[in-house]
Structure 1
Amino acid sequence: MFHSFFPQPKLFFPSIVIWTLIAIAVWYLFAADLGLSLGFTPVPEEQQPIDLSFFLLPENMWFYGYFFLTAMLFCGFWHLKAADHPWKVWSVWGSALIIFVTYFGVQISVVINNWRRPFGDLLVNALNKKPGITVENFYDLFLIFAQIAFLSMFVSILTDFFTSHYIFRWRTAMNNFYMANWEKLRHIEGASQRVQEDTMRFSSTLESLGISLINSVMTLVVFLPIMLALSHYVTSIPIFGEVANSLFWLAIFWSVFGTVLLAFAGIKLPGLNFKNQRVEAAYRKELVYGEDHADRAQPLTVQELFSRVRKNYFTLYFHYMYFNVARSFYLQADNLFVYFFMTPTFVAGAITYGIFQQISTAFGQVSNSFQYLINSWTTIIELLSIHKRLKAFEAAIDDEPLPSIDQRYLEQEGSVAHPDG
């Protein structure tokens, strides 16, 4: 699944984590201050532009240069180290491009968030009939938003286009690798389905999950400092009273709570989804044999196989029921969470509507990023079940015993197909 596309994945992926931590440490310990000394002075959050000139701010230009330097060093190293790997351009350089474009997309969200403050304040002032407000003021802000929106659309469409090609190259690498080892794989139950369908589902599922994960990480990198800066508007919260950086800690607490809640509620679902694929495959396999052999797909055998399908589905329905109860409870409470803890700030009149819009959006961005597992849990469950099926291929290629769950189901299928054996 991975070494067909990435060079030495057991070394490559840890090296990404280590290099990222090193790059972050160097940025905060040295590179950011170096930028200041070279004249790349940060602009205070309240003074940041709300139009496309945001991307040309000195601190942004300095960070872009730093990102490109660290990416070039990392990718260049792996390009030379994996000189013979056929997919190194897509897997190494393509991954770096996706990470940067995703970061740039998050920055577009920052510009839109900056735009919300003047628009919200202008709207309230207009509704309160304050003098000096004209339709041109609104049209100017609408024009700025249109420019940001078109840039967002352009980046999003190109990112989706490139990512689709990236993921299909990954599927191609898996397909080529499995077909090169077909003699070892063709005896495994559902081998053709795993090569064709599971690799397709694995790649498409990773496309959505991978982009969501990168976007969540980049959103945290960009919006956490913004959340810290906005926290000075909310100095007191219910129950806890005065709390420094209150919005920051609330976002972390609420997201961790939701993640633990849903991880606990959905702990059984990956295994059940995997079992569901197996019982469906066994049932389908017997029906296919029955098309060509009169002694196969007999009523008792089919009834037994379908009873397993029914039992597994009913078990899935039960576990998804309480999982959805927990998920719905959390998501409904999430709608009022930030409003509840900001009530003292509302009553004190400490912020304007525009500032509240900015806080609400930033809080939502940070909490949604921390809630990656919550928002993606059902997709992760599907990916884990696909991964379990493809692991059997890896075991066969490496001449290792099949995973225990595969062996158990092969024994069960054999007892059904040959009840007298």
Structure 2
Amino acid sequence: MFHSFFPKPKLFFISAAVWTIVCIFVWYAVGPQMGTAIGLPPLAAGEKAPIGLAFFFSPDNLWFYLYFTIFVLIFGIAWKLIDRNHPWSNWSIWGSAFIIFIAYFVVQISVAMNNWRGPFFDLLQRALAKEPGITDGQFYDLILRYFEIGMVSVALNVVTAFFTNHYVFRWRTAMNDYYMSKWDKLRHIEGASQRVQEDTMRFANILEGLGVVLINSVMTLVVFLPILFEMSKYVSDLPVIGAIPHALFWLAIGWSLFGTLLLAFAGIKLPGLNFRNQRVEAAYRKELVYGEDHQDRAQPVTVGELFSNVRRNYFRMYWHYLYFNVARYGYSQIDAIFLLFILVPTFVAAKITLGIWQQISTAFGEVSNSFQYLVNYWSTIIELLSIHKRLVAFEAAIDDKPLPEIDQHYLEREAEGGEIAADRPY
């Protein structure tokens, strides 16, 4: 799954994680001083960031683009020297780096939008209060700045969709070529054709999507946590609890971790059920395929038994998804009003303007959503885990290791001329 596309994947991902930590440490330790030394200084204390397209070309952002490029080149060139002959290293190294940069830029668009919300909604509040000096031109100018940010977002979405489609297909191609080169060892495994044709496609698609979201979540935390920490100065009192320093910062972390643990506990049985569901569906489909060419196969009794296995497993899944969805949708509904409840004392005391409220809401939402990675994508993670279980059997066969228990059971039943029991507790 990984070594077909990435050079020495275990070492590659460990080194990438370590290198990322080094990059972040250097950036926060001496990054601003390095930028100042080359004429790209950060914003001065109290200086507001540019609004609109100019934000993406501010000196501190230009310095980050250069900084990112330098550290990626160092990492990429080192790995090209470590493994010179890997056929997919260009896509796995440089392609992955480009996707990480795209994830960062998506976060920057969110920051640019948050910078825009403050002055726009403050201007709106002043206009609704009929303060003198408010003109049409002020609104039109801010709307134009919004349009600029929107056009950057459109261009980025187009590039992201085009590039990631190619990236995912290259990964699928790498897995396909590798598995087909080992086909003699794999062909006897149940659903081998489906695993090569469909599971590799779904695995690459889902893992790439989840990976991008995870990177985006980490980038969002790095960027928005300091913003939320700073904006906590506007919120001094909380309902029931009272005064807490940097309240918004700690509430966003605590509330999100609570949701993550809640959903992980509620959905702990779902990956195994999803995997077993793929198994009984495959057994049913395979008997139907045999029935197309052999008159003695796909008989009503056999097909009825196989379909009853499918039905039994789906009913199990529906039950476990019932209480999982109670937890998921219940948490989501409370999450929608959590920040409003927290800020009631601040609203009543009139400590913030409409613009600041919009910025707090955005920053809190970005941080909360980033911490709620499992909450938002648990169903997709379940699907990925079930696909991974199926592909693990391929890895075992290629390495001449014992197959997973469920695959051994299938081969035993095939040899006996029997069928797979869906109710076996794998």
Between the two proteins, the alignment pairs up a number of residues equal to 419
Post-superposition shift, 1:334?
0.5
Partner of 1:18: 18
1:353 aligns with 2:354: yes
Q: Say if 2:186 and 2:397, in contact at 8 Å, map to a contact too.
A: yes
Return closer, same or farther for 1:416/1:287 CA change in 2, 3 Å cut-off: same
Counterpart-to-counterpart distance in 2, 1:296 and 1:57: 70
TM alignment of 1:8-407, pairs within 5 A: 8-36=8-36, 40-44=41-45, 47-407=48-408
What's the offset of the Cα at 1:406? Answer: 2.1
Q: Could you give the per-residue CA deviations for residues 297-323 of structure 1, whole angstroms, max 9, x where no partner exists?
A: 233322221111111000000011111
Aligned-pair distance for 1:233? 1.0
Counterparts in 2 of 1:326 and 1:410: CA distance versus 1, 3 Å? farther
Give the secondary structure class of the aligned counterpart of 2:120.
Answer: helix
Give the residue type in structure 1 aligned to 2:299.
Q
1:179-209 deviation per Cα after TM superposition (whole angstroms, max 9, x unaligned)? 1111111111111111101111112212321
Identity %: 64
Worse overlay, 54-63 or 155-164: 54-63
Q: CA deviation at 1:122?
A: 1.2
Extract structure 1 runs of 4+ deviating beyond 6 A. Answer: none
- Looking at structure 1, the residues matched to 22 and 265 of structure 2 have their Cα atoms a distance apart, in angstroms, of 33
- Alignment RMSD: 1.7
Report the more deviating stretch, 255-264 or 101-110: 101-110
Displacement of 1:42 in angstroms is 2.5
CA contact (8 A) 2:227 2:363 kept: yes
Q: For 1:345, what is the secondary structure of its paired residue?
A: helix
- Aligned partners of 2:91 and 2:271: how far apart in 1? 30
1:56-105 CA-partner distances (Å, limit 9, x unpaired): 33322222222112111111111111210010110001111111122012
Amino acid at match of 1:191: A
| 8 Å contact from structure 1 (residues 45, 229) kept in 2 | no
Opposite residue 388 of structure 1, the aligned amino acid is K
Using the TM superposition, give the Cα deviation of residue 351 of structure 1 relative to its aligned residue in structure 2, in angstroms. Answer: 0.5
In structure 2, relative to structure 1, the CA distance for the partners of 1:410 and 1:17 (3 Å cut) is: same
- TM-score of the aligned structures, taking structure 1 as reference length: 0.96
Q: Which residue of 1 aligns with 2:423?
A: none
State the secondary structure of the residue aligned to 2:402: coil
Shift of 1:409: 4.0
Paired residue secondary structure (1:229): helix
Matched residue of 1:244: which SS?
A: coil
Secondary structure of the equivalent of 1:47?
Answer: coil
Give a deviation string over 1:121-161, Cα, whole Å, max 9, x none. 11112122222212222111111110110011101110111
Whether the aligned pair in 2 keeps the contact of 1:269 and 1:316 (CA below 8 Å) is yes
Q: Is the 8 A contact 2:125 2:354 kept in 1?
A: yes
Check whether the contact 1:304–1:416 (CA below 8 A) recurs between aligned residues.
no
**Contact between 2:121 and 2:354, CA under 8 Å: does it hold in 1?**
yes
Describe the SS at the equivalent of 1:267.
coil
Contact 1:164–1:207 under 8 Å retained in 2: no
Q: Structure 2 vs 1, CA of residues 121 and 281 (structure 1 numbering), >3 Å: closer, same or farther?
A: same
Residues 323 and 124 of structure 1: CA distance in aligned 2, closer, same or farther (over 3 Å): same
**Deviation of residue 213 (structure 1)?**
1.4
Please say which of residues 256-265 and 294-303 is displaced more in the overlay: 294-303
Structure 2's unaligned 5+ residue stretches are 421-426
**Mapped contact 2:172–2:200 kept (Cα < 8 A):** yes
Q: Do residues 6 (structure 1) and 10 (structure 2) align?
A: no
Give the distance between the partners of 1:168 and 1:88, measured in 2 at CA: 15
Q: Name the TM-score, length of structure 2 as normaliser.
A: 0.94
C-alpha deviation, 1:31, in angstroms = 3.0
Does 27-36 or 151-160 show the bigger shift? 27-36
CA shift, 1:415, in A, is 5.7
Q: Deviations over 1:333-370 (max 9, x none)?
A: 01111111111111111100000000001110111111
Q: Check the 8 A contact 1:278/1:409 in 2, yes or no.
A: no
Q: Supply the AA of the counterpart residue of 1:367.
A: S
Superposed displacement of residue 29, structure 1: 2.6
Mean alpha-carbon deviation: is it higher for 78-87 or for 44-53? Answer: 44-53
Deviation at 1:18, TM superposition (A): 0.9
Using the alignment, how far apart are the partners of 2:148 and 2:304 within structure 1? Answer: 62
Q: Is contact 1:259–1:371 with CA below 8 Å preserved after alignment?
A: yes
Report how far residue 210 of structure 1 moved: 1.9
Distance 2:325 2:155 in 1: 36
Q: Distance in 2 between matches of 1:392 and 1:88?
A: 25
Equivalent pair of 1:273/1:381 in contact (CA under 8 Å): yes
Q: Residues 4-60 of structure 1: CA distance to partner in whole angstroms, max 9, x if unpaired? A: 000000111111111111222222233334435655133447611212222233322
Deviation at 1:412, TM superposition (A): 5.0
* Cα distance in 1 for residues equivalent to 2:89 and 2:281: 37
Task: Write the distance in 2 (CA, Å) between the matches of 1:297 and 1:417.
Answer: 13
Amino acid at match of 2:5: F
Cα displacement (A) at 1:288: 1.4
